[in-house]
Amino acid sequence: MSVLFFSNCHTDPAISAASSSHHNHRNMPVRVLENTAAPSSQVSGANSGRSSCQSCSLLGVGQAFSGTQNVSSVQKDEAWRVNVRIQGCDLEHGYLCGTMEALNVPMADTPVVTFWEGEIVDTKNYTFFTGKWEASPEDDIRHWSKFPSFSPLLGQVEADGGKSLDLSNYPYIFMRWKEQYFVNVGTDCGLTIAGFYYICFSCSNGSISGFYYDPNSSPYQKLELKSTNDGRSGFSFSSYELQ
Amino acid sequence: MPTPSASSDPILDRLASSDCAVKFKAIREVKNHIIGNRTKKHSYIKLGAVPAVAAALADSDPNLIVQSAAALGSFACGVDDGVRAVLDAGAFPRLIGLLSAHDEKVVDAAARSLRMIYQSTLAPKYDFFQEETMQFLLSLLESENENLTGLGAGIVIHSCKTIGEQTILCHAGVLEKLTSLLDSSLSQRDASLESLAAIIRDNPAAVSEFVELHGGRALHSVAELTKDRYPRTRLLACLCLISVKNSSTCYLQDIGIKTKLVYILLELLDDSGQVGDEASFAFSSLIAEKEDLQKLAFEANAINKFNCLLQKHPVQPKRLEGVFLALADLCSKLECCRSSFLSLQVLNLVVDALTHEDASVRTAACICLRSVSRSIKNLSAGRFMNERVVCPLVQLLSDLSTSVQVAALGAISNIVVDFMPHKSTFIECGGIKELVQLTKSMDSSLRLNAVWALRNMVFLADKICKEGIFVELTASSMASLICDPEPSVQEQALALVRNFVDGCVYSVEHAFAEDGIILDAVGRQLKKSTKIEIGIQGMYVLSNIASGNEFHKEAVMQLLFPQDENVSHSFFEQFLQSHDSRLRTAAVWVVVNLTFPANPGAFGRIVNLRSFGIVSRIKKMVNDSCMDVKLRARLALGQILTFGDS
């Protein structure tokens, strides 16, 4: 999510129209995957069966992460405390979902919680090219390239969209997280969930890096999260299994 | 003066009269009274008219026999008590014998009567494995007489249930005979379709033989009948095609036939009679477990169709059950179906049905609710965890029907996953006590589903919620469930413990309650069980405990490496070498937590792990074929090496 203040509520209508026109030009047509069915939520805490994206126990249901989101890339000190909890995971369909809680949000009296759904770039269900949400292929490359772990993949992605990549043994998982609704506040809370996050997850240590993308928000808001564990002396895991 | 009548009712006197004309009129009178009148039918059955009517089958007058057979057929039509009365009167073997009569009218009457009887499950099972009876069946199917061929088909429909029966009928050439009857009259056509479906259902070999008949023309004939003007014929043809389609991935897989079947069945739902009732069950068999079919059905606006059907009042129990089961299959995999279901407010109708008087409807409503509640998005939004949904479900946990209880447990298993720590709504509805009660049931399916629901409820639960469940359940009950005779119950019980000991460090204490009876049970189970899932859940139990304090970590060490035991055959060593990467991963997490560096006892444990050969095993796993295992092994080894590599 991001501050609505930076959106076009203070923008001149004429400029807004021009801006919209500009974005239309940048939205070049992108080949969409044939099987872009709505994600199935046949989610299980224990993922059985072969999948393109090998499972990573640190990215399972129940796992929690905390860190910060830098709202402005200019002023370092403007950062929100952010907590994330994974609630569902379906690797077969490249689907992930959870909640994101922002704690010290200005204009909000209480922490703001949103529900988000994630697309896992496994080159089967989803590729590195977004093809929607006003993100052009150039936007995609620019944002993915901000992750150091993307560098070895850049050439192949530019060549064929990364279709020939085998990411199943790569120790990073790339995702797009799209917030779906506010859990505990109304839509008039002064915040926007119009954009989405480019996410890079490290399978080694469970850390998450992300960049928020919304044409109408401050660019390159950075998300940095680490795996948390409730004061434990080690790692612990819960699970559920829907029937 | 006339002698007083020995009987209590004049009709019985006339039925037993020695005057053929009197008896004839009496039987015809009974027949005319009972046709289409269940009340009259039951009255005459109670009166004892059936044996008197059946006795006339032995008469020498063909007209009398025909009337008798016709009346018996009417008694048997749609009324199980009638079938029972006819069978008890010994009419069945006599009717069979009459099939060989010289008089065509007698044969016809007997055949029609027997067809009625074979529509009931009470009819005697036909033995296809006897050469003599198989030949008799074949002679029926080969007959020029449509009543006889219809009877043959009816026998197949009634008695062909097992794959063995299907196979022997195929070998006898019955498929070919039935196929040749598809060009006959309406009733013959429908009987042939229904019997074909009985032979090929869930039988790939039978389907293969059927599809090859006449170079595929038989299959084509059935496909053409999906366009027949009669709804029942269309339904039966669809059922045949669904059986063909479901039996293999070779036949009828193009999107055209799939779409066509979806639309035909949705249209048949509008039939207000039996066809409409059965169409939803056919729809379920078409789309169950098949995401692509569910997508097609969604695009055909099926959710809205079912919603409209539910809006009509009243809906008969059979139809209600069928619609709910179809909706359950439709919403089983696709989130778009669930969203459509919820936005159309169908949920309210399902919730209302949880208190329906018919147990089948209650069960179907629960199954539907279970499917819809597989939506993480809506579970997270708290869409189901409210009094309106939860209270009637909790009530069903004490339903008199076990199938209702199991179905309610399935729905509850999902609904309690609301990602809120407190579960207050469920607790306030008295759900915990009911669930705990069912974990002690003699029925293993109830135990399994109750433990499953508790396991899901404890996921990310807060301290108060966990404490409430733990007090109600008790440590000794959990230990019993871990050692349950059913492996599936064992697995869910271990997953329940795993969730109990996750969370804050205090939660680990649950494993040590009542002198550590739970931990002891976990250890015994891990030594004994060969089931991978039990190993996985057990390892995560120990891993979670090992992420606690120093006392907890040492307890895990004691369990893994008992003082007095031969460690070279320990289950832990085997788990680290399991062929299943999930089990290897879980086992390495135990090592990671035991060697977590910020603990005073870590060094001592590393020394012990090295002496037991675990460290050398971990060194090999840093190159495991599975990335998750490899990364955890490297993490563990990194921690171990911080204390030096001696």
Report whether pLDDT(A54) > 70: no
pLDDT number for residue A25:
30
Q: Which of B303, B379, B380, B630 to mutate to test the interface with A (most CBs of A within 10 A)?
A: B380
> In this complex, do A57 and B291 lie within 8 Å of one another by their Cβ atoms?
no
The CA–CA distances, whole Å, from B166 to B132, B157, B172, B179 equal 17, 11, 10, 15
Side chain identity at B220, as an amino acid letter?
H
Of A79, A100, A90, the closest CA to residue A222 belongs to A79
**Cβ atoms of A43 and A90 closer than 8 Å:** yes
pLDDT number for residue B347:
95
Residue A133 sits at the chain B interface (C-beta within 8 Å): no
Within 13 A of B366's CA, how many CA atoms are on the CB side?
Answer: 31
Tell me the C-alpha distance between B108 and B105, whole Å.
5
Of B512, B502, B499, B347, the closest CA to residue B415 belongs to B347
pLDDT number for residue A75:
52
Q: Which of residues 75-104 of A touch B (CB under 8 A)?
A: 85, 87-88, 97, 99
Report whether pLDDT(B208) > 80: yes
Percent of chain B topping pLDDT 70 = 97
List helix spans (H) across B252-401. Answer: 255-268, 274-287, 291-299, 302-311, 317-330, 335-343, 346-353, 359-372, 376-380, 387-396
Report whether pLDDT(A185) > 80: no
pLDDT number for residue B610:
86
Tell me the C-alpha distance between B383 and A208, whole Å.
30
- Contacts (Cβ under 8 Å, ≥6 apart) of B135: none
pLDDT number for residue B366:
98
Q: Å from A23 to nearest chain B CA?
A: 29
Report whether pLDDT(B386) > 90: yes
Report whether pLDDT(B5) > 80: no
pLDDT number for residue A23:
30
The 10s digit of each residue's pLDDT in B231-253 is: 989 999 999 999 998 987 788 88
Tell me the C-alpha distance between B337 and A37, whole Å.
12
B87: left (phi over 0), alpha (psi -120 to 50) or beta: alpha
- DSSP per residue, A86-128: EEEEEGGGTEEEEEEEE-S-TT-SS-EEEEEEEEE--SSS--S
pLDDT number for residue B568:
54
Report whether pLDDT(A44) > 60: no
Which pair of tokens denotes residue B561? 């490496």
Tell me the C-alpha distance between B46 and A169, whole Å.
77
Three-class secondary structure of residue B243 per DSSP: helix
The 10s digit of each residue's pLDDT in A71-93 is: 765 555 568 779 999 999 998 88
Residues of B in contact with A88 (CB under 8 A): 376
pLDDT number for residue B351:
97
pLDDT number for residue B92:
95
Residues of B in contact with A49 (CB under 8 A): none
Tell me the C-alpha distance between A124 and B548, whole Å.
40
**Cβ atoms of B469 and B513 closer than 8 Å:** no
pLDDT number for residue A11:
31
pLDDT band at A209 (very low <50, low <70, confident <90, very high): very high
Query: If you average pLDDT over every residue of chain A, what do you get?
Result: 78
Report whether pLDDT(B35) > 90: no
**Cβ atoms of B551 and A235 closer than 8 Å:** no
pLDDT number for residue B3:
46
Q: Write b or e for each residue in A66-98: b if 16 or more Cβ atoms lie within 10 A of its Cβ, otherwise e.
A: bbbbbbeeeeeeebbebbbbbbbbbbbbbbbbb
Kindly state the helix (H) or strand (E) to which residue A66 belongs, with its residue range.
strand A64-70
Three-class secondary structure of residue A30 per DSSP: coil
> In this complex, do A237 and B544 lie within 8 Å of one another by their Cβ atoms?
yes
The 10s digit of each residue's pLDDT in A150-177 is: 999 999 898 888 878 888 889 999 999 9
Higher pLDDT: A216 or B478? It is: B478
Closest residue of B to A118, CA-based?
Answer: B377
Average pLDDT over residues A224-239: 89
Report whether pLDDT(B180) > 70: yes
- DSSP per residue, B108-132: HHHHHHHHHHHTSTTSPPP-TTSHH
Report whether pLDDT(A182) > 70: yes
Of A183-192, B426-435, B452-461, minimum mean pLDDT range: A183-192
Report whether pLDDT(A40) > 50: no
Of A229-233, B2-6, B185-189, minimum mean pLDDT range: B2-6
pLDDT band at B290 (very low <50, low <70, confident <90, very high): very high
Long-range CB pairs of B123-129, under 8 A, 24+ apart, other chains included? B123/B83, B123/B87, B123/B92, B123/B158, B124/B87, B124/B92, B125/B158, B125/B159, B126/B155, B126/B158, B126/B159, B128/B159, B128/B160, B128/B165, B128/B168, B128/B169, B128/B172, B129/B164, B129/B165, B129/B168
**Cβ atoms of B209 and B170 closer than 8 Å:** yes
Residues of A in contact with B414 (CB under 8 A): 242-243
Tell me the C-alpha distance between B398 and B304, whole Å.
33
Q: How far apart are the first and last CA of chain B?
A: 125
pLDDT band at A30 (very low <50, low <70, confident <90, very high): very low
A236: left (phi over 0), alpha (psi -120 to 50) or beta: beta
Report whether pLDDT(A52) > 80: no
SS (H, E, C) B171-189: HCCHHHHHHHHHHCCHHHH
Residue A11 sits at the chain B interface (C-beta within 8 Å): no
Kindly state the helix (H) or strand (E) to which residue A191 belongs, with its residue range.
strand A191-192
Structural domains present in chain B = 8-123 (1.25.10.10)
pLDDT band at A53 (very low <50, low <70, confident <90, very high): low
Closest residue of A to B454, CA-based?
Answer: A240
Report whether pLDDT(A50) > 70: no
Q: Which of B332, B335, B366, B376 to mutate to test the interface with A (most CBs of A within 10 A)?
A: B376
Kindly state the helix (H) or strand (E) to which residue A167 belongs, with its residue range.
none
Q: How far apart are the first and last CA of chain A?
A: 32
Report whether pLDDT(A144) > 50: yes
**Cβ atoms of B292 and B332 closer than 8 Å:** no
Predicted ipTM of the assembly:
0.89
pLDDT number for residue A72:
64
CA angle B342, B343, B345 (to 5 degrees): 65
The 10s digit of each residue's pLDDT in B374-385 is: 899 899 999 899
Residue B341 sits at the chain A interface (C-beta within 8 Å): no
Report whether pLDDT(A27) > 60: no
Residues of A in contact with B510 (CB under 8 A): none
**Cβ atoms of A91 and A53 closer than 8 Å:** yes
Number of H helices, E strands in chain A: 3, 10
Average pLDDT over residues A219-226: 89
Report whether pLDDT(A20) > 80: no
Report whether pLDDT(A213) > 80: yes
Report whether pLDDT(A117) > 80: yes
pLDDT number for residue A73:
54
pLDDT band at A32 (very low <50, low <70, confident <90, very high): very low
Of B341, B319, B318, the closest CA to residue B330 belongs to B341
The alpha-carbon radius of gyration of chain B (Å, integer) is 33
> In this complex, do B502 and A168 lie within 8 Å of one another by their Cβ atoms?
no
Query: If you average pLDDT over every residue of chain B, what do you get?
Result: 92
- Contacts (Cβ under 8 Å, ≥6 apart) of B507: B463, B466, B500, B501
pLDDT number for residue A59:
94
Instruction: Tell me the residue ranges of DSSP E strands in B399-453.
Output: none
Of B5-9, B28-32, B159-163, B495-499, minimum mean pLDDT range: B5-9
Higher pLDDT: A14 or B544? It is: B544
> In this complex, do A168 and B632 lie within 8 Å of one another by their Cβ atoms?
no
* Among the partner residues B414, B536, B547, nearest to A235 by beta-carbon distance: B547
pLDDT number for residue B252:
87
The 10s digit of each residue's pLDDT in B437-455 is: 899 998 999 999 999 999 9
**Cβ atoms of B226 and B241 closer than 8 Å:** yes
Side chain identity at A55, as an amino acid letter?
S
Average pLDDT over residues B512-532: 92
Average pLDDT over residues B561-588: 84
Of A218-232, B112-126, B202-216, B393-407, minimum mean pLDDT range: A218-232
**Cβ atoms of A79 and A221 closer than 8 Å:** no
pLDDT number for residue A74:
57
Report whether pLDDT(B459) > 80: yes
- DSSP per residue, B55-93: HGGG-S-HHHHHHHHHHHHHHHTT-HHHHHHHHHTTHHH
* Among the partner residues A43, A46, A171, nearest to B536 by beta-carbon distance: A46
